[in-house]
Amino acid sequence: MDKKVVSTNRKAFHDYLIFDKFDAGVVLTGTEIKSVRKGMLNLKDSFAKIEDGEVLLYNMHISPYEHGNRYNHESDRVRKLLLHKNEIMKILGKIKKENFTIVPLELYLSHGFAKIQIGLAKGKKLYDKREAITKKTQERDIARKVR
C-alpha cells in the first residue's frame, strides 16, 4: 500500500484511550492539498462531529500555501470527511451508546489523495496518564539495559 504519513496527532494518544479506528477521505481545496503535501498542518486540537449524517472535522489547521494568490484557503475551516454510510451509522451508535468522541490520529497521502485516520476515543484520567508515563520510562530503561 502506497502510504506516506504527513502528520500524527501524538497528543491524542496521550490524552485518550483509542478503541476503534477508521480511515476517511478529506475534502480539500486546491491550495490546501499543496500545503498538506508540504506538511504544513496541525492536528493537535482537532476533533470530529457527526451532523446531519455527515462527519465534519473541526480545528484542523492547514497553513496557507505561500504561492497561493487571492484564491488561497481559510486555514481553520470546517472540513468534510468521506465515509461510507454504514461506517457513519456504526460510529454514531457507539457515540450515543458508550459516550465516545471522534479524534483524528494521523493524516496521510495514499495514491495522491489525502486520507485521515480517525479513532473512537474516551478521555484518560490523570492517573491513567501517569501510569502510561511510568510504563513508557520503564520500557525505555529495559531497552537501554538490553543494549
Residues 6+ apart with CB under 8 A from 138: none
Element spanning 41, H or E: strand 41-42
Q: Which residues pair with 92 in a beta bridge?
A: none
3-state secondary structure of 117: strand
The tens place of each residue's pLDDT in the chain, 147 residues long, gives 588 899 999 888 888 889 999 999 999 888 888 888 988 899 988 999 999 999 999 999 988 888 777 777 777 889 999 999 999 999 999 998 988 999 999 999 999 899 999 999 988 887 778 888 898 899 999 999 998
State the cell numbers at 147: 543494549
3-state secondary structure of 78: coil
Q: Could you tell me what percentage of the chain is helix, strand and coil, using 3-state DSSP and rounding each to the nearest 5?
A: 35, 40, 30
pLDDT value of position 1: 59
Distance between CA 76 and CA 59 in Å, rounded? Answer: 6
Q: Are 3 and 109 spatial neighbours (Cβ–Cβ below 8 Å)? A: yes
